[in-house]
Amino acid sequence: MVFFPPAKLNLGLHILGKRPDGFHDLESVFLPLRWTDILEVTLDENVSAGEARFEWTGLDIPGSATDNLVTRAHRLLADKHALPGLSIHLHKILPMGAGLGGGSADGTYTLRAINEVCKLGLSPQELAHDAAQLGSDCPFFLQDGAALVQGRGEHIAPIDLNKVLDGCHVVVANPGIHIGTAEAFALVTPQARTADWHGLADVPLSQWRMHLRNDFEAGVRAQHIAVDELLTRMAEAGADHVQMTGTGSTVFGLFTDSTSANRAAALCKASGQGIVWQGLY
């Protein structure tokens, strides 16, 4: 069975405060993109029960090939349920350490895939519990649309921004700079303020910047000239909304017209570094 774990963008990323458990409370709208990895999970008689043969193609996965969010998701379920032998193939397309949530999507889709392929019949609550154990961004990928995400990442409520985002052009540019999530959170200064997230649906895209901020952006921008340049290029090309996603280093532009989006993609590609993706929301 083949699955397509998507990238996400953060619309705003407000860090509200540090919690007693060491994590941070945040608020952000997560938007799933049509830009995805490819994950195949199949029953494999040549693999022992409870084990999985994991292979990947595409982009290099830094660190150990035997310890990543896909293998951790499999282990989490194999420790609790009697699983048959499985083969798992990940074709890695989404840049990592990029703020796009690709690793989290892969992990959560592995839970979803094993649940389906092995007919485990896990409830949404069980899946949510397991996804939260895998990582803070993971629970979002259990559902399929835009969502307001709160808490550490475990409180997820669908949000309808289609009035503004329908037909919107998206350009995403990753400069190839890897940012560690824990390090980024350790440096951020929380500010107790929220946004009127649901009110965004009534605000034109070009004014979203007045309501949304990514609390990691200024620090990363100051430290990495490539991020600063990509943000500037998106704005110069005529983006209605420009922002960094997650802890970076990926930046994105939202455009109401395709000519500006094409110009932004060309300008970002001309910078000669990293990966650029362009598509419709």
The catalytic residue among 37, 106, 130, 137 is 137
**58 Cβ contact partners less than 8 Å away, ≥ 6 residues apart:** 37, 90, 91, 92, 93
Which residue from 87, 181, 223, 256 is in contact with ligand C5P, where contact means CB under 6 A?
A: 181
Q: Does 182 bind ligand C5P (CB under 6 A)?
A: yes
3-state SS, residue 57: strand
- Integer-rounded Cα Rg, in Å, for the chain is 19
Of 185 and 281, the one with the shorter C-beta distance to ligand C5P is: 185
Minimum gap (Å) between residue 59 Cβ and ligand C5P: 19
* Interaction mask 94-133, ligand C5P, x per CB under 6 A: ----------------------------------------
| 130 has catalytic annotation | no
Which alpha helices (DSSP H) does 135-224 contain, by range? Answer: 162-165, 181-187, 217-223
Q: Candidates 13, 26, 86, 234: give the one binding ligand C5P (CB under 6 A).
A: 26
Least Å from the CB of residue 24 to ligand C5P: 4
Angle (nearest 5°) at CA 269 between 265 and 271: 125
Helix (H, G, I), strand (E, B) or coil at 185: helix
Annotated catalytic, 8?
yes
Is 271 a binder of ligand C5P (CB under 6 A)? no
How many Å apart are CA 105 and CA 145, to the nearest integer? 13
d(CA 65, CA 89): 12
24/92 with CB nearer ligand C5P? 24
Per CB under 6 A, 24 contacts ligand C5P: yes
Residue 155 one-letter amino acid: H
Stretch binding ligand C5P (CB under 6 A), from 23-31, 37-45, 68-76, 82-90: 23-31
Over the window 133 to 162, marking each residue x when it contacts ligand C5P by CB under 6 A and - when it does not, the resulting string is --xxx--------------xx---------
Taking the least distance from each CB to ligand C5P, the nearer of 134 and 161 is 134
**What Cα–Cα distance (Å) separates residue 254 from each residue in 164, 184, 234?**
11, 25, 9
Smallest CA-to-CA distance from 9 within 234, 225, 272 is with 234
- Positions in the binding site for ligand C5P (CB under 6 A): 23-24, 26, 135-137, 152-153, 181-182, 185
